[in-house]
Amino acid sequence: MLKEKVRALAHELLPQAIETRRHLHANPELSFMEFNTAAFIAGKLDAMGIPYQRMANTGLVAMIEGTQAPSDRVLALRADIDALPIHEKNEVPYASKFPGVMHACGHDVHTTSLLTTAAILLRLRDSFAGKLKLIFQPGEETVPGGASMMIKEGVLENPRPYNILGQHVMPELETGKIGFRAGRYMASADEIYITVTGKGGHGAMPHTTVDPVLITSHLITGLQQVVSRHANPTTPSVLTFGRVIADGAHNVIPDKVTIDGTFRTMDEEWRFEAHRRIKKMAVSIVESMGGQCEIFIKVGYPVLYNNERLTAQTRTHTEEFVGKENVTDLDIWMAAEDFAAYSQITDACFYRLGVGNKARGITSGLHTATFNVDESSLETGAGLMTWLALQNLAS
């Protein structure tokens, strides 16, 4: 039975997968600097005899074709390969060797799962027809994102996949559990940079200044109206400013203040209408108080949309592989993912792989210095991705 073959191979390759994941975890590289990571992946593909090509400088796309009757069906599987600028605090033998750089978002797991999936599929080539594109993508963590770059270089062409699947770790889910959400799942994310310029001076003589600190305080409060009074209440929207720099002193009013923030939503049309309103309101508030305003909105990742048909199909196949009791519903998440770029072009499904283990204390969240995974999840991750690929090509 094919399903049992997949399970057996995923179990057999688990020690190798753990070794691969630990190598990647110990040797993280930041976005668009994944030169050694790409070389490591290329070496693994070479050893398996899988053809590939370089894309987006540090990205790779490989191809596996089944040996059954010829088929024009093409499925893409995607893994991201970059790490984060976080100093790891885990005391494990495979902790990051590079201070200030860490695989704190599970991309080491994603890459390992895809490499292991490739190894399993090679052994099962006579069990399927069609082609599988394996996308090892750089720069997921940094705008403009490696997905958009690879798309521009043709990763979704020659041949064009009719579906794409992506997997992401989720520490809130116990190992063995899988999460799905159809439709809108993750938010768009744009970066906002504002400089408020006034006239500095002595804190005891504010009447001789144009106080950019006071202006900025009104600006931050006022801009919240973009969400509270202009966004449709049924459309999730978030406007957050997390960095405010006013380089004065307790008795010194500075000449300028800079603020950095993010705007996120689940509606592409409202997204850009909100940009327009943010810019107009920022300039109006600042100038009405005597200051000058410079604002730049850096357009980031779009809304991640899981195709309903594909997601329902993928969920059914997942229940077949891990059991219906191990498949759960996900809520929308206002974080962003550049897998969204693929979902804007072809039918996509982005699902979550449980990697937590409360009994072993593996509970830290993504993007934290103590993030880690239950490595037995690698067996589920690779086995499930293989099964989904085979079922997708056969349907």
Q: What is the pLDDT of residue 319?
A: 98
Q: Which two tokens stand for residue 39?
A: 């070389």
Burial of 164 (0-12, 13-18, 19+ CB in 10 A): buried
DSSP assignment string, 341-382: HHHTTSEEEEEEEEEEBGGGTB-PPTTSTT----TTHHHHHH
Question: Are 65 and 122 a contacting pair, CB within 8 Å?
Answer: no
pLDDT at 295 over 90: yes
Report the distance separating Cα 286 and Cα 49, nearest Å. Answer: 61
Which member of 29, 80, 82, 374 is catalytic? 82
pLDDT at 395: 84
Decide if 313 contacts 395 (C-beta within 8 A).
yes
The residues spanned by each domain of the chain are 2-186+303-394, 189-301
Residue 57 pLDDT: 97
CA distance 353 to 176: 8
- How would you classify residue 176: left for phi > 0, otherwise alpha for psi between -120 and 50, otherwise beta? left
Does residue 69 have a pLDDT over 90?
no
Specify the pLDDT at position 132.
98
pLDDT at 85 > cutoff 90: yes
Q: Quick one: pLDDT band at residue 70, thresholds 50, 70, 90?
A: confident
State residue 293's pLDDT score.
Answer: 98
Known catalytic residue: 82?
A: yes
* C-alpha–C-alpha distance, residues 97 and 281, integer Å: 46
For residue 110, what pLDDT band results from cuts at 50, 70 and 90?
A: very high
Pairing of strands 163-174, 347-356: parallel
For 124, the token pair is 């099962």
Q: Annotate 120-144 with three-state secondary structure.
A: HHHHCHHHCCCEEEEEEECCCCCCC
What phi and psi values does residue 332 have, to the nearest 5 degrees?
Answer: -60, 155
Tokens standing for residue 144: 């403009």
pLDDT digits (tens, 9 = 90+) for 165-174: 999 999 999 9
Q: Which of 140, 141, 338, 374 is catalytic?
A: 140
Of 182, 187, 213, the residue nearest 200 (C-alpha): 213
Identical fold at 2-186+303-394 and 189-301?
Answer: no
Q: What angle do CA 232, 235, 239 make, to 5 degrees?
A: 90
CA distance 48 to 16: 13
Alpha carbon distance 216, 342 (integer Å): 38
Any catalytic annotation for residue 267? no
Mean pLDDT calculated for residue range 72-96 = 97
Model confidence band, residue 178 (pLDDT cutoffs 50, 70, 90): very high
If one looks up domain 2-186+303-394 in CATH, what number appears?
3.40.630.10
Find tokens 């989720």 and name the residue. 170
Please, which pLDDT band fits residue 337 given cuts at 50, 70 and 90? very high
Alpha-carbon gap, residue 113 to 79, rounded angstroms:
8
Distances (CA, A) of 40 to 149, 176, 238: 21, 28, 39
pLDDT at 147 over 90: yes
Give 185's contacts (C-beta < 8 A, 6+ positions apart): 304, 305, 306, 330, 332, 333, 350
The proportion of the chain whose per-residue pLDDT surpasses 70, expressed as a percent, equals 100
Q: What is the rounded average pLDDT for all residues in the chain?
A: 97
pLDDT per position as a tens digit, 189-247: 999 999 999 999 999 999 999 999 999 999 999 999 999 999 999 999 999 999 999 99
Q: In which residue are the tokens 């809130």 written?
A: 172
Class of domain 189-301: alpha beta
Give the tens place of pLDDT for each residue, 371-390: 999 999 999 999 999 999 99
C-alpha dist (Å) from residue 113 to 3, 39, 200, 322, 362: 17, 17, 56, 16, 19
